[in-house]
Amino acid sequence: MKKSVTLIVSIIIMVVLALIAWTIANFSSADLEMTTRLLDSERALYLAESGAEWALERLANDSGFRTDEVHSLSYGEYRIICRDPEADEEGDVIIEAIGYVPTQSDFRAQRQIKVVVKIGGLNYVVEANNQFNWYLMHSGSSIVGDIVALYYNGDGDATFNESEDLSVPGSGERLILTPGTYPTIDLTYFEAKATTIWDNAKVTTALPSSSANILRVSQRDFFTGMTQEVVRNLTHNTWNDNDWAVIVRVLSNGRVAILDRNIGDTWDSDQIRLVKRFFQNMFNQNIYYVKGDVLLDLRNTNLTFWYTNIIAEQDIVIKGRYGILMTTRTFGESWPSLATKYGDILSLQQPLGSTELRRLRRRRFGGLIYSEQGEVSFNYLWGIGVMGNDVNFDGRIRLRYVSSKLDSGGFIFEPSVIVWREE
């Protein structure tokens, strides 16, 4: 009897334990399934976010980028749709990113986000990444179009962005720049499109034996083929008249240059560099790309650059008081008149002319004047757009924004996200 009771109790205990084990197993299975679903959902969201970031990176390098494509990663896929906004949508570009785990055709989890993007452009008549100094502008100056700068200086004192600083003559909005929105220039774009590339900005050291108007170096053929170009003293690091000269004759297997001015012994052992000099009219050259400095020589004559645009890697300097006229095409791509990535653009001398208008007409530019990292300084200017890290104006200035002449090709704009939300 006792054995029978013991057996029955044992069976009951085993059944209870089995029920407990079965219950625990079911709970564990449900918990595992829920955990897996949550993990798959998070992975799908991560895939969608990765796709959106990829599209934003592409837009940063190409504002015209549009696509509808699927990419695969180790644990899932994402579909990217990058398109123009519809009539009821804001922004310049819409990104729709959908993450799938494990695949688009057979997914366990799906998450979708939508990104509304604002793309920058050449939208301002003046854009200064740092300071816009206009307090030396003459009366009668006018800047028509929107201006954006980090700091405005219209009265010459040390306090910026006061009401008088923002009261730039002309019309249009006077805005404060948001840091990080200034576009960069893609030099490879312009070099690829260039009709002519000048690649002779060689650097060496002047020998101590240089004197008067004779410049000597130890490097054979350094000056060969450089007659009528410019040599610059890099050590002095200015564009003062005693720190550059025109090469008028080359001797001694390119080791000796006869210059158009005396340098005495002030260049001895200094570092020097060859500079591209423009001193004749140019027609239909499209882009003339210079891997170094540029000097536009207006000391003896007026210059016309008809459908010719100069893109340089270093400084662009205008010397002399005669006139310069640079035109751009009214159809197709409209490239900058003058642009540089690392250098300054300087026109500091007052042009010739018995009246303000005559002087103004000697500095006429039909395209953008742009420096990414340097200053842009003009004494008299008639044009359509100026951009620089610092922009400095003197004399009479006449600018009027013309959007058709400010092509954004060759410039990189950082996309600005207006909306980022999950759908």
pLDDT at 359: 98
pLDDT at 30: 53
pLDDT at 48: 94
Q: Which of 22-26, 121-125, 172-176, 212-216 has the lowest mean pLDDT?
A: 22-26
pLDDT at 45: 93
The residue to which tokens 């005693």 are assigned: 242
Section 35-46 average pLDDT:
87
Indicate if the pLDDT at residue 18 is higher than 70. Answer: no
Reported pTM: 0.83
Q: What is the per-residue pLDDT across 274-310, written as a single tens digit (0 to 9) for each?
A: 999 999 999 999 999 999 999 999 999 999 999 999 9
On average, the pLDDT of the chain sits at: 92
Residue 235 has φ and ψ, to the nearest 5°, of -60, -40
Q: What is the per-residue pLDDT across 325-338, written as a single tens digit (0 to 9) for each?
A: 999 876 778 899 99
Helices (H), 127-210: 187-193
The residue to which tokens 């592409």 are assigned: 58
User: What confidence tier does 75 reach under pLDDT thresholds 50, 70, 90?
Assistant: confident
pLDDT at 348: 98
Instruction: Please report, for the chain, the start and end positions of each structural domain, with discontinuous segments joined by +.
Output: 2-120+414-422, 126-198+272-407, 207-269
Q: Which of 174-183, 393-402, 412-421 has the lowest mean pLDDT?
A: 412-421
Q: Which of 24-38, 159-173, 192-206, 247-261 has the lowest mean pLDDT?
A: 24-38
On whether the CB atoms of residues 102 and 73 are closer than 8 A, the answer is no
Q: Which positions ≥6 away from 136 have C-beta within 8 Å?
A: 156, 392, 393, 394, 395
Give the residue from 111, 110, 98, 94 showing the smallest Cα distance to 56.
94
More confident residue, 269 or 2: 269
Q: Which of 59-68, 94-103, 172-181, 228-237 has the lowest mean pLDDT?
A: 59-68
pLDDT at 37: 83
Section 70-75 average pLDDT:
92
Q: In this structure, how many other beta carbons lie within 10 angstroms of the beta carbon of residue 274?
A: 22
The SS3 of residue 367 is coil
Indicate if the pLDDT at residue 198 is higher than 80. Answer: yes
Taking each continuous run of H as one helix and of E as one strand, the counts in the chain are: 3, 31
pLDDT at 303: 98
- Whole-number Å distance between alpha carbons of 132 and 165: 9
- Whole-number Å distance between alpha carbons of 364 and 361: 6
Residues 63, 65, 66, 67, CA torsion sign? negative
Q: What is the per-residue pLDDT across 378-395, written as a single tens digit (0 to 9) for each?
A: 999 999 999 999 999 999
Indicate if the pLDDT at residue 210 is higher than 90. Answer: yes
Q: Quick one: tokens of 363?
A: 């500095």
Q: In this structure, how many other beta carbons lie within 10 angstroms of the beta carbon of residue 405?
A: 21
Section 190-200 average pLDDT:
97
User: What confidence tier does 32 reach under pLDDT thresholds 50, 70, 90?
Assistant: low
Q: Quick one: tokens of 155?
A: 């009265």
More confident residue, 416 or 176: 176
Section 79-107 average pLDDT:
93
Q: What percent of the chain has pLDDT over 90?
A: 78
Q: What is the per-residue pLDDT across 245-275, written as a single tens digit (0 to 9) for each?
A: 999 999 999 999 999 999 999 999 999 999 9
Q: Which positions ≥6 away from 343 have C-beta within 8 Å?
A: 293, 312, 313, 314, 315, 316, 371, 373, 374
Q: What is the per-residue pLDDT across 358-377, written as a single tens digit (0 to 9) for each?
A: 999 999 999 999 999 999 99
